[in-house]
A = this chain, B = another copy of it.
């Protein structure tokens, strides 16, 4: 259990979100389900762009939706991704998304759930960059 929501439910919500991804360039569909401090879940999928640099990942979109809804604390995020028909493997967040998580989450507490493993943010980004404290989060 991740607090009130079973982890398997959070992963399922991420998988469901991935179905609607806007991924015409890569064909790689990613879904995310973010459990906020309030207990509500916010989903996201990747939104690609003809100029690849303007692409946004599923994880960040889940964060932006939660922040826009007033959330400021976060407990866990489930992330799944792949091409339709492929066997599911772990799809870890990219560095950009880890950087956004670092801005809002406690690295030792915030959990990242992948298809077959889970670990706190600090395990994914042990020495995060921040402007307050640039000496790493662990």
Residues of chain A having any CB pair with chain B under 8 Å: 17, 20, 22, 25-26, 28, 43-45, 47-57, 60-61, 63-65, 67-68, 70, 81-82, 89-100, 102-103, 119, 123-132, 134-136
Contacts and interface: CB of A to CB of B under 8 A. Distances in A.
B91 A67 contact: no
Number of copies: 4
A28 B91 CA distance: 25
Given A96-B96, A126-B126, A53 B52 contact: yes
A42 B61 CA distance: 14
B97 A26 contact: no
A59 to B, nearest CB: 10
Nearest to A112: B127
